[in-house]
Chains A and B, each alone.
Chain A
Amino acid sequence: MKPPSSNAVKARLIKKLTKNRIAHSELNQLMQIATSDDLKTITQSVFDMDEATLLDQSMVEGATRWLNGIKNDRRKELYVKKIQHTPPSDLKKVVAEGDSWFNYPLILTDILDWISMDKNTAVFSLAAAADWLVNILATREYINGLSVHQPDFFLMSGGGNDVGSMSRMALMVTHRPSDIPEIAYNPWAQHLIANAHQKPYRTTDDKTDPRIPTKERWEQAAGVLSKDFFALMMLFRLQYYQLFYSLLVDGVQKFPHLKIITQGYDFLVPSDKKGWGLNPIRWYVPLLRWIGHGWWLKKTLLFKGHAGETHQLDILYACMYFFNEMMIELEETFMKLHPTTDGNLFHIDSRGLVKINEWTDEIHPLPHKFRVIAQTYLDCIHGKAADYKHVYQSVKRQ
């Protein structure tokens, strides 16, 4: 049972969250007392839209929806075949919900495609390219999927489009660094950095990877992240908490053996290059770069006056750093708060895997990198040891 709480306290905490002036302990308190309606209120405030407009904007429609459907239908056929022909003791059933890293309906071989090739893993996909986390959680399509299929694992990849779609990246940064950056007002974000530095795999200060910024560049990039960015990260934290709670604590009778694996994106690369080149194997890169490439990240950052290529890379480094650390810390906290769920939550950390020239477009890696990430999932699904507690790192599997 969640502890009782007055509406006034909740309203005050919500206001503090949306203004990025919430203490770490208050965020933890809000995380445990917020209801679905509270999350809707925060979502509306963070996205600055009423719920109907937001769901309308985030809905996957038109050709994308049609192509998503075709790919998922095909996957369902394969899923049924595996269920029919593989002995249940050898088979791991997986329900997957998420975005284009899980369902890229054109040309690429995405993560779920690679996972599906494993003969002992049957994947039922609800994923849809261009889907937002807010839409995934509002429609709750996965609840039906989980109830019907009773899978061993639930794979979840969401949040990328909430940050990058509809030029939203422009809202994630301020025009110029202020005297006191927003991160300074956010003790939780500072805790994330400290928490990451206590881990053996921390991703800063590694001089061999040019993508990792120097201390000065890091401070510059983190310093331009806006209060909207931190509010969105905190909203994600609350949303994911509620998702985990509803499935692993509230839903423990319904899904007694369910394990959840979350997806962490790699450091995205802002670019508006067309991708022309002499390599015929990568013929599809310029073609796929017609779809939104440049407008997700590069141009929206330019609109906010962040023009330098290195600076843009550093901003995305900081964004993805916080996203991954948020997921890792949330899962650690969740399993501490609910010890019965220990060993049921995992995170796939893809950071540092995809080099700058290994992206199909700004937000999708080339297929061979998706393959490495899929192998990381398979290692987790088939019970291989994690790299750190509940974290599996793709960079160690290439």
Chain B
Amino acid sequence: MKVSTLLLIVGGLSAYLFLTTVAIFHGNIDPACTFWPDSDCLVTKFKALSAIQKRQLLSMLFLDYVYLISYSLLLGIWIYREMQRQAWLWLNTWLRFCLLVVFILGLTDIAENILLGQLLNGITSPFQVLALVICVKWGSSAFLFLSLLMSMAVRRARLFLLFR
């Protein structure tokens, strides 16, 4: 599969999932709970969901799996390519470590989806674990993007020449 195809899939799914989620919540998405939640916030939000909203969210889960696998792959390819262009040994090694973080990110996203599925199906109520998984997910995402930004900045400014 070409990277451009993967990019199209990720871009298309991002737009679709975002718009669908906005539609399900009638435009009311609370970012404080979405990005760095605690279990209390999740409980409150979950209790506020109607039965129809729960079913709508459940119907999106499959697409979300496709999305999270695609974007992890894309992010992995991006980091791999950046690594192969990074001549500064320290950052090259750092980016290789980031490949592991991408794997962790993918795993946490899959775990989040599984837990969300259980929650919406009423099987269990793992709010504390879910909050932890979401925090790890966003934490690793931030780590990856900062690493990429740092690497690109260093490479473009040719700062690595100072450390050779």
Contact = CB atoms under 8 A, between A and B. Distances in A.
A119 B92 CA distance: 17
Interface string B87-120: 1010011001101100000000000000000000
A367 B93 CA distance: 8
Considering residues B80, B87, B97, which has the most beta carbons from chain A within 10 angstroms of its beta carbon? B87
Interface of B: 80-81, 83-87, 89, 92-93, 96-97, 99-100
A84 B124 CA distance: 59
B100 A283 contact: yes
B97 A281 contact: yes
A113 B84 contact: yes
Contacts of B92: 109, 367
A280 B93 contact: no
A284 B85 contact: no
B100 A367 contact: no
B104 to A, nearest CB: 10
Q: Is the interface of A mostly helix, strand, loop or mixed?
A: helix
Contact of B85 (A117, A280, A283): A117
B151 to A, nearest CB: 13
A113 B97 CA distance: 17
A281 B89 CA distance: 12
29 contacts: A74-B81, A74-B84, A107-B80, A107-B99, A109-B83, A109-B84, A109-B92, A109-B96, A114-B87, A116-B84, A117-B85, A117-B86, A117-B87, A280-B97, A280-B100, A281-B93, A281-B96, A281-B97, A283-B97, A283-B100, A284-B96, A284-B99, A284-B100, A367-B92, A367-B93, A367-B96, A368-B89, A368-B93, A371-B89
Contacts of A114: 87
Contacts of A368: 89, 93
Given A284-B96, A367-B96, 13 more contacts: A107-B96, A107-B99, A109-B83, A109-B84, A117-B85, A280-B97, A281-B93, A281-B96, A281-B97, A283-B97, A367-B92, A368-B89, A371-B89
A360 B134 CA distance: 33
A368 B81 CA distance: 17
Contacts of B80: 107
A281 B101 CA distance: 11
Interface in A358-390: 367-368, 371
Nearest to A117: B87
Contacts, number: 31
A114 B93 CA distance: 13
A116 B81 CA distance: 12
A227 to B, nearest CB: 42
B56 to A, nearest CB: 39
Contacts of A116: 84
Contact-residue bracket for chain A: 10 to 19
Interface in A76-122: 107, 109, 113-114, 116-117
A155 to B, nearest CB: 17
A111 to B, nearest CB: 12
Interface string A267-308: 000000000000011011000000000000000000000000
A350 B81 CA distance: 27
A107 B83 CA distance: 9
B152 to A, nearest CB: 14
Contacts of B85: 117
A281 B87 CA distance: 17
Shortest 7 CB-CB distances between A and B: which pairs?
Answer: A117-B87, A283-B100, A113-B84, A281-B97, A368-B89, A281-B93, A109-B92
B75 to A, nearest CB: 15
Nearest to B86: A117
Considering residues A74, A116, A117, A281, which has the most beta carbons from chain B within 10 angstroms of its beta carbon? A117
Contacts of A280: 97, 100
Nearest to A78: B85
Nearest to B100: A283
A74 B78 CA distance: 12
B162 to A, nearest CB: 16
Contacts of B81: 74
Contacts of B97: 280-281, 283
A113 B96 CA distance: 14
B82 to A, nearest CB: 11
A368 B87 CA distance: 11
Contacts of B89: 368, 371
Contacts of A367: 92-93, 96
Contacts of B86: 117
B143 to A, nearest CB: 13
Interface string A252-275: 000000000000000000000000
A130 to B, nearest CB: 20
